[in-house]
Structure 1
């Protein structure tokens, strides 16, 4: 199971390698005061392997072998399935930073998710994460808001004041149940209001074709906050742009003998040094391809061409 203890000192682990001695996937980045590989792993897809637990555990172990030491999860991923896998597959000596999130809960509706934004729901979700991960402290917990990007919108009793949410999150941190606080699906105004709480990361939908949050990326860079984009290849939602269909991405992929997805991930790593990736998959080969994207070098001419791709994001509300 993952360790909730503070990371070993920087002198104890060479920043070029993980605790297991593997080269850092994508190089070294900073997250919540420690060094991690810039290419991490998102556990959202693991419930697709609910009928093949051995394969699911194998994906997690392979991630560690490939130099991943930053895993993003949530109790609502498979109603605890992803967390349970992490508890079994990840060992304390792997020194993996496990990041979870609260603000939603599993549901039987069409999107299998409903908001859980009230302070008592946030606290209950942290307790659920502690139990399913088998730890006394979750190192980082993201507060999943409902302000921005594709996804659910808060209404009724789920439209909760930010200060009330930050109050319970900081209380949980003071109690030692969480180590640090992040934000997800949020706006730059909410981020600015939250800075006094000591925000360590922001997760928003962002990709080479969806860059409306550029000001937030720069604010995170200035404040030393990790920028951890989800939907890094654009969105699977109908009507939203896909990075892998962009002509400039396709041309770069052919020229560099890489896949379009790898080019899109490599661009994110080149764009700002505070960017960390959490591409998700339930396939070991796909995992290896995602990690390999961290080794792709984009020259100035290629970067200029990719930077010129227009951003074409529009919010989609799911109900």
Structure 2
């Protein structure tokens, strides 16, 4: 395990604080439609940046279009040190279902949609979200989709490329096609299938960004986690985030919230140092899951 004192990491050609912000929860229920309180969504984004967050994860298929438009309203003109990372490769139908959208035309349109709604000339980081299985990584070549994104980078519309919802074999294939600056997969205390991948990426200086760091739509619940939190006078979610920060120095966190108070709680996880016995207890959660 690393230490929480390592507060920054490289993301492409930028150095970002390891505690970032995920914009998914700024949309309506089910990440679909507008938020019930747009002013509150604007406020939480501004509070995040004021607190030092300089890595925000978003996508034009959140809403769709909603979160990017709120980010632009809240933060444009953007601070020089802010890195916006978006995703392409999926779309929503009129009922909010998540569907693949990675034909060449769909990928190109998605990049232009993100540029327009964020108000940018170049997207700092774009993750190709693989949708062979909506619910998790599934094997299959990603060459055709990634070559389209690499072409868009050559055109100057994209600065850096990442991958999301991918297997280790797909990461290897992707790195043969172009530089990959980050991988975004599901990973948390109870879902640790990417342990080996995280370590391999760390050796090569590639960021790993866990989505659902707190369990996602089914929040993490564990007696062991609750016991450690009580002992450290912290919340279970703060402990879960602190464990991720100590797991490996290349892990960048993007917990999301629509509440300024919850945002503050999340960011305080960066101040929490877990003793060795607490880490051992937390490591056992995945073994029992």
Q: TM-score, normalised by structure 2?
A: 0.90
Gaps of 5+ in 1: 1-23, 314-319
1:61 pairs with 2:37 = no
Partner of 2:212: 231
Give the direction of change, closer, same or farther, for the CA distance of 1:230–1:25 in structure 2 (3 Å limit). Answer: farther
* In structure 1, distance between residues paired with 2:64 and 2:135: 21
Is the contact made by 1:25 and 1:67 (CA closer than 8 Å) also made in structure 2?
no
1:309 pairs with 2:289 = no
Gaps of 5+ in 2: 29-33
Runs of 4+ aligned residues of structure 1 deviating over 6 Å after TM superposition are none
Deviations 1:204-251 (Å, cap 9, x if unpaired)?
A: 1110100011111112112211100001122425xxxx53x2122111
* In structure 2, distance between residues paired with 1:145 and 1:93: 30
* In structure 2, distance between residues paired with 1:283 and 1:115: 30
How much is the aligned-residue C-alpha RMSD, in angstroms?
Answer: 2.2
Partner of 1:271: 247
1:98 pairs with 2:84 = yes
1:188 pairs with 2:155 = no
Alignment of 1:88-237 (within 5 A): 88-90=73-75, 91-93=77-79, 95-109=81-95, 111-147=96-132, 150=135, 161-196=141-176, 197-237=178-218
Is the contact made by 2:6 and 2:249 (CA closer than 8 Å) also made in structure 1?
no
* In structure 2, distance between residues paired with 1:235 and 1:104: 18
Q: TM-score, normalised by structure 1?
A: 0.82
Is the contact made by 1:262 and 1:290 (CA closer than 8 Å) also made in structure 2?
yes
User: What is the CA-CA distance between 1:306 and the residue it aligns to?
Assistant: 1.3
User: What is the CA-CA distance between 1:140 and the residue it aligns to?
Assistant: 0.2
Is the contact made by 1:25 and 1:39 (CA closer than 8 Å) also made in structure 2?
no
User: What is the CA-CA distance between 1:151 and the residue it aligns to?
Assistant: 5.1
SS in 2 for 1:68: coil
Deviations 1:246-284 (Å, cap 9, x if unpaired)?
A: 122111100111110110010000000000000011111
User: What is the CA-CA distance between 1:81 and the residue it aligns to?
Assistant: 1.0
Greater strand content: 2
User: What is the CA-CA distance between 1:47 and the residue it aligns to?
Assistant: 1.4
